[in-house]
Structure 1
Amino acid sequence: MAEFVLVAGAWLGSWAWAEVVPPLRAAGHGAHPLTLSGLADKRGLPAGQQTHVQDIVDEVERHDLREVVLVGHSYSGIPVGQAAERIGDRLARVVFVDSNVPADGESFVSPWPEGRAAVEASIAANGGFWAPPATADYTGQGLTEGQVARIVGGSTPHPGATLTEPAVLRRPLGELPTTYVKCLLDGERPSPDVAELLAAGERWRLVTMDTGHWPMFSRPRELARILLEATGTVAL
C-alpha cells in the first residue's frame, strides 16, 4: 500500500485534491492532501520556503508513513523535491505534476526572468504575498466555468518568501525515483531543467496529459490513474 502525500501549487490548499483522493483510497492506498503554511485553512501562519519543506516532512513523520509517494503540483514541486530527500527510506516515489523542480541555491523565481519582476511587484504591492490569478488567467487550460470558479473562489494569496528563498538540496535531484507529468495545454515540452533530468538517466519517467496546468480539477480521475500507475498499481 502506498501513502500519497498530495501538495497543490501556489494559492491552493488541501481542498484542491477533493476529486483525486477518493479513487486513491478506493484502490486501497492512503491519501493525505496537505495545506502548506500560510495558505487556505492555514492562512495567517508565517511561511518561508523551508517552512513548506518542513510541513511536508512533518506530515510524513507525524503519521509515521512508509512507502510514501510525494506529489507536488506547480510551485509545490520545489518544497516536495527537497522534502523527498529528507524522508530517506520512507520515500517510494516522487510525482511532479506540471511543476517546478528545485535546484540547489535557486528560488522559484530564479529561472523565470520574464516573470520574476511581475511576481516581485505583486509581492511588494500585496503586503508580502503573491496575488491569486483572475478568472481570465485560466483561459485555454481545459477547465469548465465551474472549475475555474472553484479555483478562483478557493485561492488565497501566496506567501512571497516561499517564492524568493533558495532551495537546499543535499544530493542530485536526478537520483530520486520520479514521474514527471507534463500537461500539454500548458506547453508541449517540459522546461529545460526538467528535460535535462529526464534525459540523464533511468530514474525519471515522463507522462503526458492532454489538459491544462490544473489537472486535479480538469481531469481528476485520469490524474489519479497516473498516480496509481506510478506505484505499479493496476489502473482504474
Structure 2
Amino acid sequence: MHFRYICPSLGTPLLEEQETPSKTQSLCPLFVGMFDVCTCWSYRQGEGPFPSWSSWDVRNFLSRKQEEATASNVVEHEGYEERTYPARKWVCTSDTGDSEDENGRDRAMFKRLYKYIRGNNNMHKRLAMAAPVTTEVATGDATNTYEMCFYLGEDHQASPPAPNDQLVTIQDRPQITVFTRTVGGYMRDDEDWLTEAARLAQILEAGGETFSLDSMYWVGYDAPFKFWHRRNEVWLLKN
C-alpha cells in the first residue's frame, strides 16, 4: 500500500510515493515553503519524506523561542540596516549547480545538516535547531557554489560535536559586516532571492554604500510550518 502526500495549499501531490508507515498514529499534510515541496510529519520520529519533522520537533519549535545568531552592532538606515556579526562556529555543507537543479540541491544540503543536529555526529547528540539558516552563494562562469550553514547555539560554540558525514564541516566564520533588510513571505526559488538582492542593491547604491556582489548570503529564520510574519534576508557584504 502506498500513500501519496498531498499539499492542500497548492492542490498538487508530491512527486513521490511511499509505503504507509506502520503503527502511525497520525499523518498531517504540511507545506514546506522553503523548498516548494510537500511533506508530512507524524508522531513517530523519522517517518514521512524529508524533512522528517516529528511531533517532538513541532512541539519543541512552537513551545520555545529559537536561539538566534545576534549582531554585535546594528546601524539603522533608511530602508536597510548595517550589521556586524562576531566570529562564530557554524555547521556547513556545500554544493554546486545552477537554477535547473535548485530544489534537489537545497534539499540535499538541508538534509545533511538536519541529520547532524539530529545525532549524526561523533557524540550521537541532538542539538537544538537555531537560527538562521544561511546559504552563501558565489557565482561562477559555468556554475555557482552554494554553502548552506546552520548556526550553532552558544552551548556548542566552544566544542561542537564532529560531523560523521564527510560532506559536513564545522566552520569558524570570521566577523562580517553586512547590509540587509527583512522581507516576509516564502522565498520559493533562486529567482526570488536574486530579485530581493537586486532590490537591496538599488537601495544601497542610492544610500551611497559600497558592497560586494561577488558573493551573498540568503538567510532564513523560520520553520516551514510558520505561515505568517516570516523573516527572510539577503546579506550583502560591506566593502
Between Structure 1 and Structure 2, the one with more helix by share is 1
Shorter-chain TM-score above 0.5:
no
Between Structure 1 and Structure 2, the one with more strand by share is 2
Point out the structure with max Rg over C-alpha. Answer: 2
Q: Give TM-score, length-normalised by structure 2.
A: 0.27
| Higher RCO structure, 1 or 2 (CA under 8 Å, sep 6+) | 1
